[in-house]
Amino acid sequence: MGLMSAYMLQKAGHNVTIFDADGFPANNASFKAGGMLAPFAEIEHMPVTFLEPCFESIRIWQDISENGAFEFAQRGSLLLAHPQDRHMLARFAQHAPQAQITDKARIAELEPGLNNRFSDGLYLPEEAHIHPQKAMRFLIQNLQHKIQQDIDPGHISGHYDFVIDARGMASQKTDSDLRGVKGELLIVHNPDLILTRPVRLMHPRYALYIVPREGNLFMIGATNIEAEGEPRPAVKSAMELMSALVTLHPSFAEAHIVEITAGIRPSYPDNLPRITQAGNIISSNGLYRHGFLLSPVMAKCVLALVEKKRNALYILLHERGHR
Ligand SMILES: Cc1cc2nc3c(=O)[nH]c(=O)nc-3n(C[C@H](O)[C@H](O)[C@H](O)COP(=O)(O)OP(=O)(O)OC[C@H]3O[C@@H](n4cnc5c(N)ncnc54)[C@H](O)[C@@H]3O)c2cc1C
C-alpha cells in the first residue's frame, strides 16, 4: 500500500520520501502474497460495487507493467473441482454470472498439461496475476527517496505536507478495529507441468490457487486463518496445501519445495479497506486478501486526497457506507 501510494504520488509530480522499518523490500505481508488479481473470485469477500475498482486496479497494473518486470498476465483463471466438490462450482457460478462453464474439452484446450484430469470447471477470462515480490522491487526501483527507519506518523507530520500511514498490522497498537488473518502458502519447482494461467482448486476450507510463475515455479495458497499470533506456517496447513497440489496433478509429488511461508493480512471487521484522514495524516489500511488487487485504486484515492480532488473509491467507502 505504501509503495504504490509513493509511486503514484511521485509519478504525479510530488516529492516523496518513503520510510520502512524493515527496509526495501520489507519482508512484510505484501512480500508473502500470492499475487492473484481475481475480482470475481474475491466477490465472496466484498460487495459487488467493488468489482469496478478491482478491474481499474488491474488496468493500472497493466499500464505500469514494463517488459514483464513483474510477470503481469491477464489470461484469466480456471476454477476446477474434484467430483465430490462439484457443488461448489455450481454455487460459485450463481454469484459470478460472468464465469464461463467449461467442460472437459474446453479445459483441455485451456490447460492441456492437466491431461484431461478434470471434467467440470469455470473460466473467468478477465482475471489476472502478478509476481508480488517482483512488483514490489519494480516500485522500489522507481522510488527516489527511501529511508529504512521506524517512524511514528504523528511525530513526523510537522515536517511534511502530508504523511501517508500505511503501516499494515503495526497500526493495531492504535487502531483496535484491526485484526490479523493468517495466510500460508507454498512455492514448489515442478519441471514436469506447464500451466499457462492460475488454477483455483475448489476446496471446502480455502480458496486455493495454483499460480504458475517463471522458471517452472508454482505458488499454492493461501490459507485463511483467524489467528494472528503465530507467524510461522502450521504443519497441518502445509499438509493440506501439498495434498491439494498433488490432486491437481500427480507430477507435483516429485516437485521440490522452494518455500513454505506465512503472512498476516491486516483486516477490518467487514474485511473491507479503509482510508481516513486526520489533519495531514492519511491512513490507508485493512487490505485483507486484496493488497495487490486494491492497492492501485487505494493509492489513487490517496493521491486524490492529497490533491483535494473527488475520488470514486472514496465515495464508495465513505458515502455509501462500505466501511
Ligand atoms: C499468504 C498471503 C497471500 C496473499 N495473497 C494475495 C493475493 O493473491 N492477492 C492480493 O491482492 N492480496 C493478497 N494478500 C493480501 C496482501 O498481501 C495484503 O493485503 C497486503 O500485503 C497488505 O499490505 P500493506 O501494505 O497494508 O501491509 P504490509 O505489506 O504489511 O506493509 C506494511 C509495512 O509497514 C512497515 N511499517 C510498519 N510500522 C512501521 C513504522 N512504524 N515505521 C516504518 N515502517 C513501518 C512494515 O515494515 C511493512 O513493510 C495475501 C496475503 C497473504 C499473507
The CATH number of 1-76+129-156+289-323, from 3.30.420.40, 1.10.10.10, 3.30.1490.20, 3.50.50.60, is 3.50.50.60
pTM, full prediction = 0.95
Tracing cell 499470533 back to the chain, one arrives at 229
Ligand 1 center to residue 4 CA distance, Å? 12
Proportion of the chain in helix, strand, coil states, percent, rounded to 5: 40, 25, 40
What is the pLDDT at residue 320? Answer: 64
Domain boundaries along the sequence of the chain: 1-76+129-156+289-323, 78-125+179-267
| Per-residue pLDDT at 37 | 97
Residue 6: the pLDDT is: 98
DSSP assignment of 184-250: EEEEEE-TT---SS-EEEE-SS-EEEEEEETTTEEEEE---BS--S--SPPHHHHHHHHHHHHHH-G
Q: Tell me what percent of the residues of the chain surpass a pLDDT of 90.
A: 85
What is the per-residue pLDDT for 322? 59
Q: How many CA atoms lie within 13 A of 8 on its CB side?
A: 22
Ligand 1 centroid vs 266 CA: distance in angstroms? 7
For the chain, give the percent of residues with pLDDT over 70: 98
Helix (H, G, I), strand (E, B) or coil at 266: strand
Cell of 217: 515455479
For a ligand 1 pocket test, name from 265, 281, 283, 290 the mutation site with the most ligand atoms within 8 angstroms of its C-beta.
Answer: 265
CATH 3.40.50.10140 fits domain 78-125+179-267: no
Give the per-residue pLDDT at 204.
76
Predicted pLDDT at 321: 64
Task: Work out which ligand 1 atom sits closest to the CA atom of 286.
Answer: 26
> pLDDT tens for residues 236-276?
999 999 999 999 999 999 999 999 999 999 999 999 999 99
Q: Which residues of the chain have pLDDT under 50?
A: none
